[in-house]
Amino acid sequence: MIPGPFSYHRPSTLADAVRLLASLGDEARPLAGGHSLIPMMKLRLATPQSLVDLHGIDSLRGIRSDGGAILIGAMTTQHDLIGSDVIARSLPILAEAAALIADPQVRYCGTIGGNVANGDPGNDMPALMMTLGASYLLEGPDGSRTVAATDFYQGAYFTALEPGEILTAISIPAPSSGHGYAYEKLKRKVGDYATAAAALVLTMSGGKVATCSIGLTNLAETPLLAEDAAKAVIGTDLDEESLKQAAAAAEAIMSPSADTRGPVEYRKHVGGIMVMRALKRAAARAS
């Protein structure tokens, strides 16, 4: 398929990009890596009249420590995350999840901003951002604002982005030293969306779970934060019964669609298994 006609713009500054989007109106779309938008345009599921390419804006790239947080520019690629020393030291789960996205060709071009901003329930990073307590920095014609990842996703492909706004960066509180982490993802083949995936960060104290956060990918119209599942393991040593309780609590909030990845009950079942696997692996890593 071939996309419909559109005008193309490549601003060199964030201010120019915001002005362009404001002047071009509702039918303009920002272009990051393009791995979600361009296929939708080819299928005529998206028909923007204008594209504003963000690749010329250097200020939207980079990874740095910012006080007690890690700040990641929206145009930072998945490949950049995998190779970053800052991520390896402070947020290794980001590199682990990025390595499971699609294939190397996609990871060289796909951006973290594009992954979190378009509201695709199959994308890996949104649930992980909710798990990590991340916030998104947005810039628009009315100025800048910050929105928590937990408040950003409103439905499949619907987010808190206002018309003309651009997601410019992601701020993630640095987890406690010695935390355990895991991103468990089941997919049919390399490059596919997850049949089910679980992001998990925890800390241990005296052999028992002290803190825990669990996110779920592609198991509802939005990413999910499995708060009851996390509460089920607090104070336990992750014995078999507590693992089963966490899985059951996670499955209770899942509402996946039946598709080529499997029927609803199967996807919920493997979602629970991903939670249990992530809990075990995160605990083994915690020190």
Q: Which amino acid is at 135?
A: S
Chain center to CA of 148: 13
- Could you tell me the pLDDT band of residue 1, with boundaries at 50, 70 and 90? confident
- The residue-averaged pLDDT of 75-79 equals 97
- The structural domains of the chain, ordered by start, are 7-53 (3.30.43.10), 61-173 (3.30.465.10), 181-282 (3.30.390.50)
pTM for the full model? 0.95
pLDDT value at position 5?
92
Comparing 44 with 129, the larger pLDDT belongs to 129
- The residue-averaged pLDDT of 203-207 equals 97
pLDDT value at position 190?
87
Alpha carbons 50 and 206: distance in angstroms, whole number: 57
Q: Is 216 helix (H, G, I), strand (E, B) or coil?
A: strand
pLDDT, tens digit, for every residue of 215-236? 999 999 999 999 999 999 999 9
- Could you tell me the pLDDT band of residue 239, with boundaries at 50, 70 and 90? very high
Residue in 139, 63, 137, 54 with CA at minimum distance from that of residue 94: 63
Alpha carbons 167 and 163: distance in angstroms, whole number: 12
- The residue-averaged pLDDT of 5-30 equals 94
- The residue-averaged pLDDT of 19-47 equals 90
